[in-house]
A = this chain, B = another copy of it.
Amino acid sequence: MAKNNSRVVPNRDFRWEGIPLKAYKTDGTHFKDITRQSLLGEGPDDWELNLQTRYFEIAPGGYSSLEVHRHPHSVVVIRGSGSVVLNDEVFDLGTFDLVYVSPETLHQFHADKGEPLGFLCMVDRYRDKPLLPDTDTIDRHIGSGAARAKIRI
């Protein structure tokens, strides 16, 4: 029988027991008031997983980095509300709404409804690194309009 790492990790107030609150990113991208907890798939005791489950929480007024990459995101909001930019559209988000970010979609999450926006984001363990779009890329994907006014870069 395989070494057994099965476990339950209790949650209290959107903190998971024994899982550290981490910085969102460290590479100098533009973001505001966002934290990360790596729930599954990044540790030595769940190496069997090809997929990673992370929890991101954006404080009111904050946002994630505007980015684009080849790998898709599967997102489920589990706390609060906000909005998401997907290329040239802006969508409102409520608790338990689902977001699919398909490959090469410019995207940015905003906690712009006066409360936190907390969401699970699932990705492949092996994936390409996000790119920060240059102005040409932004022009090509977003143009003008509500999404252009919404993004923070």
Q: Which residues of A contact B (CB under 8 A)?
A: 1-11, 14, 16, 39-41, 46, 48-51, 53, 72, 74, 76, 78, 84, 86-87, 91-105, 107, 120, 122-124, 140-141
Is there an interface contact between B84 and A122, defined as CB atoms closer than 8 Å? Answer: no
Is there an interface contact between B51 and A102, defined as CB atoms closer than 8 Å? Answer: no
The complex is assembled from copies of this chain, and their number is: 2
Is there an interface contact between B124 and A50, defined as CB atoms closer than 8 Å? Answer: yes
> Which residue from B4, B46, B48, B53 sits with its C-beta under 8 Å from A87?
B4
What is the CB-to-nearest-CB distance from A117 to chain B, in angstroms, rounded to a whole number? 13
> Which residue from B50, B98, B124 sits with its C-beta under 8 Å from A11?
B98
Is there an interface contact between A100 and B16, defined as CB atoms closer than 8 Å? Answer: no
Chain B residue numbers with a CB within 8 Å of A107 are 6
**A97 to B92 Cα, complex, angstroms:** 26
**Nearest opposing residue in chain B for A126, CB measure:** B50
